[in-house]
Copies of this chain bind each other. A is one copy, B any other.
Amino acid sequence: MSDETVTVAHGSGAGKTREFIEDRICSRFADAGGDPDLAVGLGALDDGAVHDLGDQSVVVTTDSHVVSPLSFPGGDIGRLAVAGTVNDLAVMGATDPLSLTCSLVVEAGTSLDLLEEILDSMQAACEEAGCAITTGDTKVMGSGEIDGIVINTTGVGVLPRGEHVPDAGLSPGDKLVLSGPVGDHGITLLAEREGFDIDGDLTSDVAPINDIVDAALDTGTVTAMKDPTRGGLATALNEMVRKADIGATVDETAIPVRESVAAAGELLGIDPFDVANEGKVVFGVDAADAEAVVEAIRSTQRGSDAAVIGEVTADNAGRVVLDTGFGRRYLSEPEGEQLPRIC
Contact = CB atoms under 8 A, between A and B. Distances in A.
Interface of A: 1-8, 10-11, 17, 20-21, 24-26, 28-30, 32, 35, 37-38, 41-42, 48-49, 51, 53-56, 58, 60-66, 98-99, 101-113, 115-116, 119-120, 122-123, 126-127, 132-142, 145-147, 150, 152, 154, 156, 158, 340-341
A127 B58 contact: no
Given A5-B112, A6-B108, A28-B119, 13 more contacts: A1-B113, A6-B140, A8-B140, A8-B142, A49-B101, A60-B154, A60-B156, A62-B152, A103-B154, A140-B340, A141-B147, A146-B150, A150-B150
A140 B63 CA distance: 12
Contacts of A141: 11, 66, 147, 340-341
B101 A154 contact: yes
Interface of A, helix, strand, loop or mixed by DSSP: mixed
A127 B61 CA distance: 21
27 contacts: A4-B111, A4-B113, A6-B140, A8-B142, A10-B108, A24-B112, A24-B116, A30-B126, A30-B132, A32-B132, A32-B134, A35-B132, A38-B132, A38-B134, A49-B101, A49-B134, A51-B156, A53-B56, A58-B58, A60-B154, A60-B156, A62-B101, A64-B137, A66-B139, A139-B341, A146-B147, A150-B150
Given A8-B108, A53-B53, A138-B20, A103 B62 contact: yes
Contact of A109 (B6, B11, B154): B6
A63 B137 contact: yes
Given A137-B62, A138-B20, A154-B152, A54 B56 contact: yes
Contacts of A25: 102, 104, 119, 136, 138
Interface centre among A32, A61, A110, A139 (most CB of B within 10 A): A139
A209 B119 CA distance: 33
A136 B101 contact: no
A29 B55 CA distance: 31
A95 to B, nearest CB: 16
Contacts of A106: 6, 10-11
A5 B111 contact: yes
Contacts of A108: 5-8, 10
Nearest to A343: B139
Contact of A152 (B38, B56, B64, B135): B64
Given A24-B112, A53-B158, A105 B64 contact: yes
